[in-house]
Structure 1
Amino acid sequence: MSTAQSSPAPAPRRRLPAWTSNFGWQIVAALVLGLVLGLVARSMGHTPDSPTWLGETLATIGSVYISILKATVIPLVFFAVVASIANLAQVTNAARLAAKTLLWFAITSLIAVLIGLAVGVVMQPGVGTGQSAPESYQARDVGWLDFLTSMVPANFLGLTVKSTVGEDGAVASSPTFNVLQILVIAIVVGIAALKVGEKAAPFLTFSRSVLAVIQKLLWWIIRLAPIGTVGLLGNAVASYGWSTMGTLAKFVVAIYVGLAIVMFVVYPVLARLHGLSVKQFFTGVWPAVQLGFVSRSSLGTLPVTQRVAERNFGVPTGYAAFAVPLGSTTKMDGCAAIYPAIAAVFVAQFYGIEMSLGQYALVVLVSVLGSAATAGTTGATVMLTLTLSTAGLPLEGLALLLAVDPIVDMGRTATNVAGQALVPALVAKQEGILDQARYDAERVDIMGEDEEEIVEARAQDRDDDQDQMVGAAARPARD
């Protein structure tokens, strides 16, 4: 009789360093590595006129990353906008509330983007690098007539062909896409799909599926951002030294200045103009702001933001269930207004480009109308790509800004969720359906409520909320 021999226990796996799995640490490591390699290349005598092998390698890595990123812009913008507009089908019985909500989303976005542009112009975070624009950049002088006509699609794809003449006289043609025209096409197609109704359901399902695939691809590309950061930052340091790092620090400060103005000036003023207590606004929205700052995800904070709107601000449950989720994908004053506005000014200043009035107008328009493209976890990157492309500014500055993205993303998300909770309260107040007593009540720990208590409270309030919604829909809109 044989006895089974026990096999030796497997040796415990060696744990990998934190930076191998944590994206934030990967970015930090890429920042350090790019800085070191850039300084090494600079010590080897690298200059833009006489590059070294290391400098050229860094430049190639950065340019390849930008090329990959550009490939996702057009399909992402189109399908993200179409899918976002399709979400309005959920509120056909509350069209006036939906229209007012979207109007206030646009108003607050307009205010935020103007503040962002003003902060960028006044603080000038990108000035002083001495860096010239990339060779692929072509200046665009956008006048008002050009600005208006550029919105009209030349064809369904927004496709144009650009021809260039080489030194040998040969003509080379390459297709280019007008991102602003793609945005207009997507808005029109989305509205048409809503009007068609049930027959458009397969198309909308297809659009959502394609959007999910593209967002996954974009997320993979963003996961490669540390590699792109090494190349772009390393090449910038090799060519222009320490001035690059100084401008990035000024950029972070400028972003937080803009966010602070929106959070602590604009939002309180809007609340006060609607007869709402500023103190109650801050104490009520704090749970969502706190979680948004830590999680850096408007979608991840969505349950808490909706709970804030309902339990702390007194927004009817039926309306909050529409407005807050819509806001979590299309109402982002931090990611879609302040950030792209300051970043566009920064990129122009970084490369010594003088922005025209038409380019400023394009930044404003894209920030107000293009926020539907911010759906998902990559909203700020998508919005910045859309803004730079539409304004005709170099996309090469994008990966450089990704190096400090985790730092600014915390403040951006906190500002986002504060606005996403405030706008439903403002609209509900205008329509006379806000529970003022609940808004003014002493705050309780809504984070301490379990899910069963929340479901029970929502069920208890839903009938009264429905009566309020029906009554509000029957009344004429208030000024």
Structure 2
Amino acid sequence: MTNELHNNKSLSLTSRILIGLGLGLLVGSIFKWIIGGQDDVYISLGFFDLAIKGFFVDGLLTIGGSIFVASLKMLVVPLVFVSLVCGTCNLSDPSKLGRLGGKSIGLYLLTTAIAISIAISLANLVSFDKIAGLQTSSEFVAKEAPSLANVIINMFPTNPISAMAEGNMLQVIVFALLFGIAMTLSGEPGKHLAKTFNNLNDVILKLVTLLMNLAPIGVFCLIAKLFSSIDYAAIAELVKYFFVVLLALFIHALIVYPTLLKTITGLSPFTFLTKMKANALFAFSTSSSSATMPVTLETATKKLGANNSVASFTVPLGATINMDGTAIMQGVATVFIAQIFAVDLTTSDYLMVILTATLASVGTAGVPGVGLIMLAMVLNQVGLPVEGIAIIMGVDRLLDMTRTAVNVTGDCMVTCIVAKTEGELDEGIFNDKHAAEQLEEIHFNKK
């Protein structure tokens, strides 16, 4: 009996999340069949229909999933601020921030440009003009995206407390960097304050671990709710578009990222991808790089071995400006919309799409509905009808989940490269298959 309990406890967090995801998909699909069944099924299961829709889907599943996502988002601002202050004040050379910034932004823009190039190339190999039943009467009205100049100006907060309350990550990052540099230059008082921040950082990371142990339940609720209400007919109509985007995402995550990592650092791509499993599952279930940021930061430091002084800078920055998954969607969507509206795009148009989407990944940082806003910008740039966005919105939810998993994988890949080139990567931790596994356990009876 003791051995059985030990074996159950030894089940990894990744395995528990996968079980939660699989059960959520199964339960959600069953609920969908019952709620959206044929007329005869409706008649015989009318009571269960109401019970499942009202009590489970709109009740327990919605509450459980919302609490899980809200709990992750709750940690984002304090984790980023405290971790970034700790990382900055621990730098012996504050000028190192310039190198970190240059390398990080350069790599993020490079991977984004590669992503959209792959997407456009794949999309042009597929003909979308034979897809039937598409309606273009509905319109999508995009909010106006801010200019790049305004984004740069707005990076500097007039009220840092307000920036934290509103979750404006660029302003929080800038304030944390300035605060950390000031602590470094303050001598003895800064050292005393640094100890407090380091202790606070340990407590916050333990809170992250606590929430990670609840992840299987949260993932189950999110996936079950999604599959109980998703419109399968919409997916069927756009199946080719869906799978082209999915293929491009997999190529980018499983070929481009590992190739860059191996070429620049010599680190094992297999080890990297293996350690990204739990993080990618978190991102897939939440569809939010920001909500997944606490888990991404812990993965980068505790599992991949990146020093906190690097990871606390590159991970929040990546969650803000790294839009590789979204860029892939834009590339395929542009070709798709152009073909169904019978608009021919020239080579210069495609180059303009690549340039616009790459720069927009920074220019629209922090804007709600960033993916659709960026796509509207791209379509306008090459003269395509913006109302075409309404056609792909039916399947965008599932693709958005996969895009987020790709984005967080890119965040960790760039973190590893920057940390390795700065001599801030512990290869012993990176190569340790069981690194941080003990940190995923919570013992409430510990004295």
Do Structure 1 and Structure 2 share a fold, with TM-score over 0.5? yes
Encode CA deviations 1:250-307: one digit per residue, 9 max, x unaligned.
1111111101110111111112112010121111211111211222221121111111
- Report if the CA contact (8 A) 1:267-1:419 is conserved: yes
- Report if the CA contact (8 A) 1:330-1:371 is conserved: yes
Pick closer, same or farther for the CA change 1:393–1:402 going to 2, 3 Å. same
Gaps of 5+ in 1: 1-12, 25-87, 137-176, 195-199, 213-228, 234-241, 454-479
Q: Residues of 2 paired with 1:281 and 1:96: CA distance? A: 24
The structure 2 residue matched to 1:125, chosen from 99, 103, 128, is 128
Which secondary structure does the structure 2 equivalent of 1:412 belong to? helix
Question: Which residue of structure 1 lines up, in the alignment, with residue 23 of structure 2?
Answer: none
Which secondary structure does the structure 2 equivalent of 1:408 belong to? helix
Question: Which residue of structure 1 lines up, in the alignment, with residue 104 of structure 2?
Answer: 101
More helix by share: 2
Q: Residues of 2 paired with 1:345 and 1:22: CA distance? A: 40
Pick closer, same or farther for the CA change 1:125–1:257 going to 2, 3 Å. farther
- Report if the CA contact (8 A) 1:130-1:352 is conserved: no
Question: Which residue of structure 2 lines up, in the alignment, with residue 339 of structure 1?
Answer: 329
Pick closer, same or farther for the CA change 1:413–1:210 going to 2, 3 Å. closer
Q: Does 1:288 align with 2:279?
A: yes
Quick check: 346-355 or 438-447, which moved more?
Answer: 438-447
Q: Does 1:253 align with 2:256?
A: no
Which secondary structure does the structure 2 equivalent of 1:99 belong to? helix
Question: Which residue of structure 1 lines up, in the alignment, with residue 428 of structure 2?
Answer: 437
For 1:79-158, list aligned pairs within 5 A. Answer: 93=95, 94-125=97-128, 127-129=130-132
What letter is aligned with 1:389? N
Q: CA deviation at 1:411?
A: 1.4
For 1:388-427, list aligned pairs within 5 A. Answer: 388-427=379-418
Pick closer, same or farther for the CA change 1:107–1:126 going to 2, 3 Å. farther
Q: CA deviation at 1:400?
A: 1.9
Encode CA deviations 1:51-77: one digit per residue, 9 max, x unaligned.
xxxxxxxxxxxxxxxxxxxxxxxxxxx
Encode CA deviations 1:152-204: one digit per residue, 9 max, x unaligned.
xxxxxxxxxxxxxxxxxxxxxxxxx9979x534435645xx75xxxxx72599
Gaps of 5+ in 2: 1-49, 63-83, 89-93, 170-229
Which secondary structure does the structure 1 equivalent of 2:433 belong to? coil
What letter is aligned with 1:201? T
Aligned residues: 304
TM-score, length of structure 1 as denominator length:
0.54
Question: Which residue of structure 1 lines up, in the alignment, with residue 221 of structure 2?
Answer: none
Q: Residues of 1 paired with 2:439 and 2:138: CA distance? A: 57
Q: CA RMSD in A?
A: 4.1
Pick closer, same or farther for the CA change 1:15–1:103 going to 2, 3 Å. same
- Report if the CA contact (8 A) 2:290-2:319 is conserved: yes
- Report if the CA contact (8 A) 1:314-1:434 is conserved: yes
TM-score, length of structure 2 as denominator length:
0.58
Q: Residues of 2 paired with 1:210 and 1:285: CA distance? A: 26
Q: Does 1:353 align with 2:343?
A: yes
What letter is aligned with 2:150? A
Q: Residues of 2 paired with 1:23 and 1:133: CA distance? A: 33
Q: Residues of 2 paired with 1:135 and 1:404: CA distance? A: 15
Q: Residues of 1 paired with 2:349 and 2:355: CA distance? A: 10
The structure 2 residue matched to 1:369, chosen from 359, 373, 376, is 359
Pick closer, same or farther for the CA change 1:102–1:276 going to 2, 3 Å. same
Encode CA deviations 1:369-393: one digit per residue, 9 max, x unaligned.
1113253673322322332233332
Encode CA deviations 1:61-114: one digit per residue, 9 max, x unaligned.
xxxxxxxxxxxxxxxxxxxxxxxxxxx999775111111100000111111110
What letter is aligned with 2:309? G
Q: Residues of 1 paired with 2:281 and 2:99: CA distance? A: 32
Question: Which residue of structure 1 lines up, in the alignment, with residue 256 of structure 2?
Answer: 266
- Report if the CA contact (8 A) 2:138-2:390 is conserved: no
Which secondary structure does the structure 2 equivalent of 1:302 belong to? helix
Pick closer, same or farther for the CA change 1:255–1:22 going to 2, 3 Å. farther
Which secondary structure does the structure 1 equivalent of 2:125 belong to? helix
Q: Residues of 2 paired with 1:390 and 1:23: CA distance? A: 41
Pick closer, same or farther for the CA change 1:365–1:251 going to 2, 3 Å. same
Encode CA deviations 1:329-351: one digit per residue, 9 max, x unaligned.
2112112x111111111111121
Pick closer, same or farther for the CA change 1:426–1:245 going to 2, 3 Å. closer
Q: Residues of 2 paired with 1:370 and 1:434: CA distance? A: 31
Q: Residues of 2 paired with 1:357 and 1:179: CA distance? A: 27
Q: CA deviation at 1:446?
A: 4.1
Q: Residues of 2 paired with 1:362 and 1:251: CA distance? A: 21
The structure 1 residue matched to 2:313, chosen from 314, 317, 322, is 322
Q: Residues of 1 paired with 2:107 and 2:120: CA distance? A: 20
Which secondary structure does the structure 2 equivalent of 1:123 belong to? coil
Q: Residues of 1 paired with 2:311 and 2:242: CA distance? A: 33
Pick closer, same or farther for the CA change 1:400–1:374 going to 2, 3 Å. farther
Q: Residues of 2 paired with 1:390 and 1:99: CA distance? A: 28
What letter is aligned with 2:255? V
- Report if the CA contact (8 A) 1:179-1:389 is conserved: no
For 1:6-17, list aligned pairs within 5 A. Answer: 17=54
Pick closer, same or farther for the CA change 1:439–1:350 going to 2, 3 Å. same
- Report if the CA contact (8 A) 2:138-2:387 is conserved: no
What letter is aligned with 1:186? N
Q: CA deviation at 1:210?
A: 11
- Report if the CA contact (8 A) 1:287-1:447 is conserved: no
Question: Which residue of structure 1 lines up, in the alignment, with residue 16 of structure 2?
Answer: none
Q: Residues of 2 paired with 1:282 and 1:19: CA distance? A: 33
Q: Does 1:275 align with 2:266?
A: yes
What letter is aligned with 1:366? T
